[in-house]
Amino acid sequence: MEIEACRRIELPKIADPRGNLTFIEGMQHVPFQIKRVFYLYDVPGGADRGGHALKTCHQFLIAMSGSFDIILYDGREKERTHLNRSYYGLHIPPMIWREMDNFSSGSVCLALASEPYSPDDYYRDYHEYLKALAASSPSK
Protein backbone atom coordinates (compact mmCIF):
# COMPACT_ATOMS: atom_id res chain seq x y z
CA MET A 1 0.00 0.00 0.00
CA GLU A 2 1.37 3.44 -0.90
CA ILE A 3 0.88 6.90 0.55
CA GLU A 4 -1.11 7.96 -2.54
CA ALA A 5 -3.81 5.55 -1.31
CA CYS A 6 -4.30 7.73 1.79
CA ARG A 7 -7.05 10.13 0.83
CA ARG A 8 -8.39 13.26 2.45
CA ILE A 9 -12.18 12.96 2.19
CA GLU A 10 -14.60 15.86 2.52
CA LEU A 11 -17.74 14.91 4.44
CA PRO A 12 -21.29 16.25 3.99
CA LYS A 13 -21.86 19.44 5.96
CA ILE A 14 -25.37 20.71 6.69
CA ALA A 15 -24.78 24.36 7.49
CA ASP A 16 -27.37 25.82 9.84
CA PRO A 17 -27.51 29.00 11.89
CA ARG A 18 -28.29 26.70 14.87
CA GLY A 19 -24.98 24.89 14.35
CA ASN A 20 -23.54 22.73 11.59
CA LEU A 21 -24.10 18.99 11.21
CA THR A 22 -21.89 16.36 9.57
CA PHE A 23 -22.71 12.68 9.15
CA ILE A 24 -20.75 9.60 8.07
CA GLU A 25 -22.08 6.33 6.71
CA GLY A 26 -19.87 3.26 6.19
CA MET A 27 -19.30 2.35 2.50
CA GLN A 28 -20.83 5.69 1.57
CA HIS A 29 -18.59 8.45 2.90
CA VAL A 30 -15.73 6.20 4.03
CA PRO A 31 -14.69 3.18 1.90
CA PHE A 32 -15.31 0.52 4.59
CA GLN A 33 -17.94 -0.71 7.03
CA ILE A 34 -17.43 0.96 10.41
CA LYS A 35 -16.93 -1.65 13.13
CA ARG A 36 -15.27 0.48 15.81
CA VAL A 37 -15.04 4.09 16.93
CA PHE A 38 -12.44 5.51 19.31
CA TYR A 39 -11.18 8.97 20.13
CA LEU A 40 -8.12 10.67 21.51
CA TYR A 41 -8.66 13.60 23.87
CA ASP A 42 -6.93 15.41 26.73
CA VAL A 43 -3.70 15.01 24.74
CA PRO A 44 -1.01 16.95 26.63
CA GLY A 45 1.08 19.52 24.72
CA GLY A 46 4.06 17.96 22.94
CA ALA A 47 2.68 14.39 23.07
CA ASP A 48 3.06 11.95 20.16
CA ARG A 49 0.52 9.22 19.37
CA GLY A 50 0.36 6.46 16.81
CA GLY A 51 3.70 4.94 15.91
CA HIS A 52 2.31 1.84 14.26
CA ALA A 53 0.94 0.28 11.07
CA LEU A 54 -2.10 -1.98 10.83
CA LYS A 55 -2.07 -5.24 8.90
CA THR A 56 -5.71 -5.30 7.78
CA CYS A 57 -7.60 -2.46 9.47
CA HIS A 58 -8.60 0.71 7.60
CA GLN A 59 -8.94 3.87 9.66
CA PHE A 60 -10.45 7.28 9.04
CA LEU A 61 -9.25 10.11 11.29
CA ILE A 62 -11.05 13.41 11.87
CA ALA A 63 -10.07 16.46 13.92
CA MET A 64 -13.43 16.83 15.69
CA SER A 65 -12.03 19.78 17.57
CA GLY A 66 -8.73 21.63 17.29
CA SER A 67 -5.99 20.28 15.06
CA PHE A 68 -3.08 17.85 14.81
CA ASP A 69 -0.61 16.47 12.26
CA ILE A 70 -0.43 12.94 10.89
CA ILE A 71 2.87 11.71 9.48
CA LEU A 72 2.43 8.90 6.96
CA TYR A 73 5.14 6.56 5.75
CA ASP A 74 4.83 3.70 3.23
CA GLY A 75 8.43 2.48 3.28
CA ARG A 76 9.31 4.80 0.40
CA GLU A 77 7.85 8.25 1.00
CA LYS A 78 6.98 10.30 4.05
CA GLU A 79 4.17 12.87 4.12
CA ARG A 80 2.88 15.20 6.85
CA THR A 81 -0.81 16.15 6.80
CA HIS A 82 -2.54 18.71 9.01
CA LEU A 83 -6.16 18.05 10.03
CA ASN A 84 -8.11 20.97 11.45
CA ARG A 85 -11.78 20.70 10.32
CA SER A 86 -14.60 18.47 11.57
CA TYR A 87 -16.01 18.03 8.04
CA TYR A 88 -13.09 16.25 6.47
CA GLY A 89 -10.85 13.38 7.47
CA LEU A 90 -8.01 11.20 6.33
CA HIS A 91 -8.48 7.60 5.17
CA ILE A 92 -5.47 5.45 6.06
CA PRO A 93 -5.53 1.97 4.47
CA PRO A 94 -3.64 -0.97 6.00
CA MET A 95 0.18 -1.22 5.95
CA ILE A 96 0.84 2.52 6.25
CA TRP A 97 3.00 3.60 9.17
CA ARG A 98 1.48 6.61 10.97
CA GLU A 99 2.54 8.95 13.73
CA MET A 100 0.60 11.90 15.15
CA ASP A 101 1.89 15.08 16.78
CA ASN A 102 1.38 18.84 17.00
CA PHE A 103 -1.95 18.43 18.87
CA SER A 104 -3.52 21.79 19.66
CA SER A 105 -4.79 22.28 23.18
CA GLY A 106 -8.24 20.73 23.67
CA SER A 107 -8.11 18.85 20.36
CA VAL A 108 -10.11 15.67 19.82
CA CYS A 109 -9.23 13.05 17.19
CA LEU A 110 -12.10 10.77 16.20
CA ALA A 111 -11.08 7.48 14.57
CA LEU A 112 -13.40 5.17 12.63
CA ALA A 113 -12.06 1.67 12.08
CA SER A 114 -12.99 -1.18 9.76
CA GLU A 115 -12.19 -3.89 12.36
CA PRO A 116 -12.65 -4.52 16.07
CA TYR A 117 -9.52 -3.92 18.15
CA SER A 118 -6.95 -6.69 17.81
CA PRO A 119 -3.39 -6.33 19.13
CA ASP A 120 -2.31 -8.93 16.54
CA ASP A 121 -3.23 -6.55 13.72
CA TYR A 122 -0.48 -4.09 14.75
CA TYR A 123 3.11 -3.57 13.73
CA ARG A 124 4.42 -1.49 16.62
CA ASP A 125 8.06 -2.12 15.81
CA TYR A 126 9.18 0.00 12.87
CA HIS A 127 11.85 -2.50 11.75
CA GLU A 128 9.34 -5.34 11.81
CA TYR A 129 7.04 -3.23 9.65
CA LEU A 130 9.86 -2.58 7.15
CA LYS A 131 10.67 -6.29 7.09
CA ALA A 132 7.03 -7.16 6.38
CA LEU A 133 6.95 -4.60 3.54
CA ALA A 134 10.13 -6.01 2.03
CA ALA A 135 8.73 -9.55 2.26
CA SER A 136 5.50 -8.55 0.49
CA SER A 137 7.27 -6.68 -2.37
CA PRO A 138 10.92 -7.74 -2.62
CA SER A 139 11.63 -5.21 -5.43
CA LYS A 140 11.18 -2.20 -3.06
- Tell the smallest beta-carbon distance from residue 59 to ligand TYD (Å): 9
Question: Is residue 31 within the footprint of ligand TYD (CB under 6 A)?
Answer: no
3-state secondary structure 65-122: ECCEEEEEECCCCEEEEEECCCCEEEEECCCCEEEEECCCCCCEEEEEECCCCCHHHE
Question: Is residue 50 within the footprint of ligand TYD (CB under 6 A)?
Answer: yes
Q: Show which residues are catalytic.
A: 52
DSSP code per residue over 2-37:
-GGG-EEEEPPEE--TT--EE---BTTTBSS---EE
Of 14, 23, 25, 38, which lies in the binding site for ligand TYD, with binding defined by CB under 6 A? 38
Q: Of 140, 136, 138, 139, whose CA–CA distance to 56 is shortest?
A: 136
Beta bridge partners of 14: 21
Of 40, 57, 96, 112, which lies in the binding site for ligand TYD, with binding defined by CB under 6 A? 40
Question: Is residue 117 within the footprint of ligand TYD (CB under 6 A)?
Answer: yes
Is 3 or 70 the residue whose CB approaches ligand TYD more closely?
Answer: 70
- Tell the smallest beta-carbon distance from residue 16 to ligand TYD (Å): 32
Stretch that binds ligand TYD, among 15-23, 48-56, 76-84, 86-94 (CB under 6 A): 48-56
Stretch that binds ligand TYD, among 1-9, 22-30, 46-54, 67-75 (CB under 6 A): 46-54
Q: Residues in the site for ligand TYD, rule: CB under 6 A?
A: 36, 38, 40, 49-50, 52, 117
